[in-house]
Amino acid sequence: MSLPPKLTEAYRTEERIKRRFAKAVRQFRLIEPNDCLLIGLSGGKDSLALMELLADYRRRSPYPFHLKALHVRTEGIDYLTDTTYLQQWADRCGIPLLVRTTRFETDRNSQRTPCFLCSWNRRKLMFETAQAEGCNKIALGHHQDDILHTALMNLSFGGSFSTMPVLLRMRKFPITIVRPLCLEHEADIAFMAREHAYVEQIKRCPHENKSQRTQAAEQFGKLCNYAPEFRQNLWHALQKEGKLVETE
C-alpha cells in the first residue's frame, strides 16, 4: 500500500525547501514590494531550482514583484547548454528568458585563471543587462553549501574570513545581489533536481572540477563528518561577524 502524499520523502523534502526559501527571503529581506529580479540561469540544477522557487514564491507572495531570467553563453569555452530546454522551463515558470553571449581572451597573468576571467565577464554582462532591463536585483543560485565552501576556501587559501554574501549592496551600481537559496542544503537541491527531472548540460565546463573550490568542498565534507555541528557553527560565525549582508 502506498503512503499518503504528505508522508512521502518527496513531499517532506519539497516542503522543507520551500520553508527554508521563504525564511531566507524574510530573514535577509531579499525581496521587497515591486522589486525586479534578474535570475542568473546557468542551466545547472541550482539555477533551475532557484527559478522554480522564485516563481512559486511570487504566486504566494502578498506583494507584487517581477522576475526575468538571463542565460549567458561564453565563447571560447568548450561546453554547451540547451537554450531550447531553458526556454521551456522559463515558459513553464512564466518568466521571460534573455540569452546573451560574452567572451574573453587568455590572460598572461597566471592569477587570472579561465574561471576568474569567465566569471568576471559574465558578471559584467549581468550587471549591464540588469540595468538595461530595469532590474534592481540580481538573484544567483548559490546554496548554503556554496557559501560555506567559499568561507573555508578563503580562510584556507586567502587568509581571510569572508564568503559570498546572502545580500550584497553595490555602491557603484543601483543593483543588489541576492542569494535566496542561502539556507538550502545541496543534498535537498539535488533531490529536487531528480524529482523534477532536470536535464544536465550537454557538456560540462572543462575547468569546473580543477579548482581550490573542489578541494574546499572535500574538506568541508570531512569536517562535517568529524563534527556534525560544523555546518551550523560556521554559518553562525559568518552571521555573527556580519559576513552575510555586505555593501561593496
pLDDT by residue (tens digit) across 162-172?
A: 999 999 999 98
Instruction: Quote the strand ranges of 133-210, DSSP E.
Output: 137-139, 167-169, 176-178
Domain limits at 173?
Answer: 5-247
- Say if residue 218 is exposed, middle or buried (CB neighbours under 10 Å; 0-12, 13-18, 19+): exposed
* Amino acid 157: pLDDT: 87
Considering only CA atoms, which of 131, 137, 163, 135 is closest in space to residue 149? 163
Q: How many domains does the chain have?
A: 1
Say which CATH number the domain at 97 has: 3.40.50.620
56 or 209: which carries more pLDDT confidence? 56
φ and ψ of 28, to 5 deg: -105, 5
Chain Cα centroid distance, residue 150: 13
pLDDT by residue (tens digit) across 65-104?
A: 999 999 998 876 666 788 999 999 999 999 999 999 987 7
